Chains A and B, each alone.
Chain A
Amino acid sequence: QLQLQEAGPGLVKPSETLSLTCAVSGSSISRDGYYWGWIRQPPGKGLEWIGSIHYTGSTYYNPSLKSRATIFVDTSKDQFSLRLRSVTAADTAMYYCASLVPVAGVNRGYFDHWGQGTLVTVSS
Chain B
Amino acid sequence: DIQMTQSPSTLSASVGDRVTITCRASQSISIWLAWYQQKPGKAPKLLIYRASSLESGVPSRFSGSGSGTEFTLTISSLQPDDFATYYCQHYDSYSLTFGGGTRVEIK
CA A37 to CA B42, docked complex, whole Å: 17
A8-52 vs B, CB cutoff 8 Å, 1 = contact: the mask equals 000000000000000000000000000001000000001111001
Q: Nearest B residue to A112 by beta-carbon distance? A: B46
Residue from A48, A108, A115 in contact with B94 in the complex, judged by beta carbons closer than 8 Å: A108
B67-95 vs A, CB cutoff 8 Å, 1 = contact: the mask equals 00000000000000000000101011111
B56 to chain A, nearest CB (A): 9
B43 touches A106 (CB 8 A): no
Any A CB within 8 A of the CB of B34: yes
A47 touches B87 (CB 8 A): yes
Q: Give residues of chain B (4-46) contacting chain A, Cβ–Cβ below 8 Å.
A: 32, 34, 36, 42-46
A111 touches B46 (CB 8 A): yes
Any A CB within 8 A of the CB of B49: yes
B98 touches A103 (CB 8 A): no
A49 touches B55 (CB 8 A): no
B91 touches A104 (CB 8 A): yes
B95 touches A46 (CB 8 A): no
Residue from A96, A109, A110 in contact with B43 in the complex, judged by beta carbons closer than 8 Å: A96
B98 to chain A, nearest CB (A): 4
Any B CB within 8 A of the CB of A62: yes
CA A100 to CA B43, docked complex, whole Å: 15
A47 touches B46 (CB 8 A): no
Any B CB within 8 A of the CB of A123: no
Interface, chain B (partner A; CB < 8 A): 1, 32, 34, 36, 42-46, 49-50, 55, 87, 89, 91-101
Interface, chain A (partner B; CB < 8 A): 37, 46-49, 52, 60, 62-63, 96, 98, 101, 103-112, 114-117
Q: What are 5 A-B pairs with beta-carbon distances under 8 A?
A: A49-B97, A60-B95, A96-B44, A104-B32, A108-B91
